[in-house]
Chains A and B, each alone.
Chain A
């Protein structure tokens, strides 16, 4: 409706005092973080363990008070307006359940519908929609504790979306899921966004999530934003490149000096060669054109940079290694 951002954090800071043996030390979990998420966006919020992701989310949802700085979520102050905010936000914590553990799944939906004051008609329509699209029908009457991890995560996401929130925050939603379950969950989230224009904020270790779900990534490191932009831009920033793998008709000397590329290596006496696409605006076509005068190309493939590798590189280029404790 308005041009107001869904999440707006300025100089957001959160300190923790931790005890180390007898001494106390202040840890800046989040340090002067600026974050803006516009309505309808899907943003991947990534970073190593302990980089400040969970702390940020707790401040966005009113669980933690910021030490300093300001944050508005859906135009509300999270701590002061916690209850109003709760009606507009859906959160999935990958590792903690918000379902009723020993009740049949259906009961959890009924309780949440009542908690969010959905009318009977609204409740039925929305539950039916979610059950159908998330394929929950087979285990609606099963107690939650008996669900498989994949089933439970789908149920968790459905539960967080039941009241049609404007903003959905997913904290490690695919952690521990098998490939198929991940795939289903991602497809559902893409559809949900298309159908309802839901804003998505996603923290994850899984770059597959980011690649398939997010328009934009925010990389956080030591509590501050280390990068903000597209995933491709992140790769460039970390100096990671796409690599063109060429299979040639006959053994060829190393293809050095092709414009916009660097030669990364040869195999089988030059039958297979790898060229990294380094120049701005270098395309596969332009490289192929340049190569074709020197060798006959039988087959080619393009290897995308591994994004986890990208993040690791970016961290490595920024001073010390990231902390590993949460």
Chain B
């Protein structure tokens, strides 16, 4: 029984995704436009980072230009993968206003699973490609030798980064049950977090480190793994070895996300509508 139930759910997800993909391809113009703009946005964001580092012979926060390409790449790749699969979650407030959430309640699947599987943004593939290209470039310009340790760290970094950003989207969805017109407040941490992820955490003040290293573990998505890859020391609250805790912090992010979601759903049933 459990097998057929699971198979049915998977089939439903496959059909939804399949149709999404077809319908996104159907809007040819919009799709191509999104592809081009995604690439352009990726390049502009990379340029913003490079422009700063290019003017600094002594580097910044213990990173040089080459190292920061790696930080940017890991952050961008993780974020764009998460955005592609669950990025629509932080639109929950529009789902609530449109009554879509009520419809989710009428279907025999877990609500979060329905929300996650309700859409997929294939146009983000272009963005993923930018992140991937940046990662390849980052590996090359830092002369990384792809030995076992490096590969392990790279895989760990990409997986944890993606999952952590996905957790941020889910957390934002949960928070939006409370803040129906407050999507901007969650943006502070979802997109602010994305911005933080491509920075060296060593330049932050202690309060910023508390928020973006430990509360929302953004430093673990790109900066700390880069320290591991390049054998850099780090500083103060963010020593180089801390990056090995990325999986733990990913779990922490998901704990927060699921608790936030649970509280949000309770709140909604309790009369938020």
Binding site for B on A (CB under 8 A): 14-17, 58, 61-65, 79, 82-84, 86-87, 89, 91, 93, 95-98, 100, 102-103, 107, 110-111, 114-117, 143
The 8 Å CB contact of B5, one of A64, A96, A117, is A117
> In the bound complex, how far is the Cα of B105 from the Cα of A251, in angstroms?
66
**Contact A63–B15 (Cβ < 8 Å):** no
**Contact B105–A96 (Cβ < 8 Å):** no
A-B pairs with beta carbons under 8 A, tally: 76
**Contact B269–A64 (Cβ < 8 Å):** yes
Given contacts A63-B102, A98-B103, A107-B15, are A83 and B110 in contact (CB under 8 A)?
yes
The 8 Å CB contact of A111, one of B16, B23, B105, B108, is B16
**Contact B8–A115 (Cβ < 8 Å):** yes
Given contacts A17-B271, A64-B269, A107-B15, are A115 and B108 in contact (CB under 8 A)?
yes
**Contact B23–A63 (Cβ < 8 Å):** no
The 8 Å CB contact of A61, one of B11, B16, B106, B109, is B106
**Contact B273–A96 (Cβ < 8 Å):** no
**Contact A91–B106 (Cβ < 8 Å):** yes
7 further A-B contacts with Cβ under 8 Å, apart from A83-B108, A83-B109, A117-B4, are A84-B108, A87-B108, A96-B103, A98-B103, A111-B12, A114-B8, A114-B11
Docked complex: B12-48 residues within 8 A CB-CB of A: 12, 15-16, 19, 23
**Contact A111–B19 (Cβ < 8 Å):** yes
Given contacts A64-B273, A107-B15, are A89 and B106 in contact (CB under 8 A)?
yes
Binding site for A on B (CB under 8 A): 4-5, 8-9, 11-12, 15-16, 19, 23, 98-100, 102-103, 105-110, 269-271, 273
Given contacts A64-B271, A111-B16, A117-B4, are A93 and B11 in contact (CB under 8 A)?
no
The 8 Å CB contact of B19, one of A63, A79, A107, is A107
> In the bound complex, how far is the Cα of B269 from the Cα of A16, in angstroms?
11
**Contact A111–B15 (Cβ < 8 Å):** yes
User: Residues of A contacting B23 with CB < 8 Å?
Assistant: 102-103, 143
> In the bound complex, how far is the Cα of B6 from the Cα of A114, in angstroms?
10
User: Residues of A contacting B8 with CB < 8 Å?
Assistant: 114-117
28 residue pairs of the A-B complex, CB under 8 angstroms, read A14-B271, A15-B271, A16-B271, A61-B106, A62-B269, A63-B105, A64-B271, A65-B269, A65-B270, A79-B269, A82-B105, A83-B109, A86-B107, A93-B102, A93-B103, A95-B99, A96-B98, A96-B100, A96-B102, A103-B19, A103-B23, A111-B12, A114-B11, A115-B8, A115-B9, A115-B107, A117-B5, A143-B23
